[in-house]
C-alpha cells in the first residue's frame, strides 16, 4: 500500500465558485419574494445542494411541496451551470497549480473530495483534471460533511490509509469531516473561523515547499 495521500476540496479551495452559487441562490430567493445576502451565503459553504435549499426556504419562511422543492433544486442548478459554462483557468485560485504540480513531482497520489455534483465539469473547465488520480464528489456519497465518508472513500480509492492523508478545506464542516476521518486537516481561509484545523493558511501563496515537505514527512 502507498503511504501518503493528499485530498483537495473543490469549491473555495481550488476555485472560487461560492460567488456563482450565491448568484444562483439569490435569483431563486428573489423569485420566491425574499432577499438572500452574501453573509447568509457563508452558511452554504461545504453544504449539500439539498440542505442549502432547505436553509434558503427557512430564511424566506417558504414551505414547499416535494415537487416544488425538486423543481427549485433543478432551477438553481441550471442557473449555476450557466456560470460554470464560462469558467476557465483564470479562475483557479492563486498557487493551486504550483502546489498540485509540486505534489505530483513528489509522486504523491491526489484526490478531489467535494460535496458538489458538478465537480467533474468544473475541473474540466479549469483544465485541472489530469492532476487527480481520483475524484470523489457529491454523486458518490450518502452522508454530507462533517461526516467523513467523502474523504474515507477518497483514501480508499487512492489506496492509502486514512491517517496517512492530508485534506485541504475551506469550510468548517469540511475540516470537521477531515478530523473525523483521522486525517491531517489544513484550513484554507480565516484562522478565526477554521479553528478546528491542524494548520490554517489564508491561501496557497502562503504555503511553501518546505511546509509541503514537512506534511509529506508527517503522513509518510
Catalytic residue IDs: 9, 11
Distance CA 21, CA 77 (A): 9
Please classify residue 74 by burial: count the beta carbons closer than 10 Å to its beta carbon, then call 0-12 exposed, 13-18 middle and 19+ buried: exposed
Q: What span, in angstroms and rounded, lies between the C-alpha atoms of 158 and 93?
A: 24
Selection from ligand BG6, Mg ion, none that 183 binds (CB < 5 to 8 A by kind) is none
In terms of CB distance, is 22 or 131 closer to ligand BG6?
A: 22
Count of other CB atoms within 10 angstroms of residue 88:
9
- Residue 33's region, left for phi above 0, alpha for psi from -120 to 50, else beta, is left
116 interface partner picked from Mg ion, ligand BG6, none, CB below 5 to 8 A per type: ligand BG6
Q: Which of residues 17-76 bind Mg ion (CB under 5 A)?
A: 46
If one asks whether residue 48 binds ligand BG6 (CB under 6 A), the answer comes out as yes
Q: Is 185 in the site for ligand BG6 (CB under 6 A)?
A: no
Answer yes or no whether residue 49 interacts with ligand BG6 by CB under 6 A: yes
d(CA 162, CA 193): 25
**Rounded to the nearest 5°, which phi and psi values hold at 204?**
-70, -15
Site for ligand BG6 in 7-46 (CB under 6 A): 10-12, 21, 44-46
- CB of 132: closest distance to Mg ion in angstroms? 16
Where do contacts with ligand BG6 occur on this chain (CB under 6 A)? 10-12, 21, 44-49, 52, 77, 114-118, 138, 171
Amino acid at each position: 500500500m502507498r503511504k501518503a495521500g493528499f485530498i483537495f476540496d473543490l469549491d473555495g479551495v481550488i476555485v472560487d465558485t461560492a460567488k456563482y452559487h450565491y448568484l444562483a441562490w439569490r435569483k431563486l430567493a428573489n423569485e420566491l419574494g425574499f432577499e438572500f445576502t452574501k453573509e447568509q451565503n457563508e452558511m452554504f459553504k461545504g453544504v449539500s445542494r439539498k440542505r442549502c435549499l432547505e436553509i434558503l426556504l427557512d430564511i424566506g419562511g417558504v414551505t414547499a411541496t416535494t415537487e416544488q422543492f425538486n423543481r427549485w433544486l433543478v432551477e438553481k442548478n441550471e442557473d449555476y451551470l450557466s456560470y460554470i459554462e464560462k469558467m476557465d483557468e483564470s479562475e483557479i485560485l492563486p498557487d493551486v497549480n504550483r502546489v498540485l504540480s509540486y505534489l505530483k513531482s513528489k509522486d504523491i497520489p491526489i484526490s478531489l473530495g467535494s460535496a458538489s455534483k458538478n465537480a467533474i465539469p468544473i475541473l474540466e473547465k479549469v483544465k485541472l483534471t489530469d492532476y487527480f488520480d481520483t475524484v470523489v464528489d457529491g454523486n458518490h456519497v450518502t452522508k454530507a460533511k462533517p461526516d467523513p465518508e467523502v474523504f474515507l472513500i477518497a483514501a480508499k480509492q487512492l489506496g492509502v490509509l486514512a491517517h496517512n492523508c492530508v485534506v485541504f478545506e475551506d469550510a468548517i464542516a469540511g475540516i470537521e469531516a477531515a478530523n473525523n476521518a483521522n486525517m491531517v486537516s489544513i484550513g484554507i481561509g480565516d484562522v478565526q473561523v477554521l479553528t478546528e484545523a491542524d494548520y490554517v493558511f489564508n491561501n496557497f501563496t502562503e504555503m511553501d515547499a518546505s511546509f509541503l515537505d514537512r506534511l509529506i514527512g508527517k503522513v509518510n
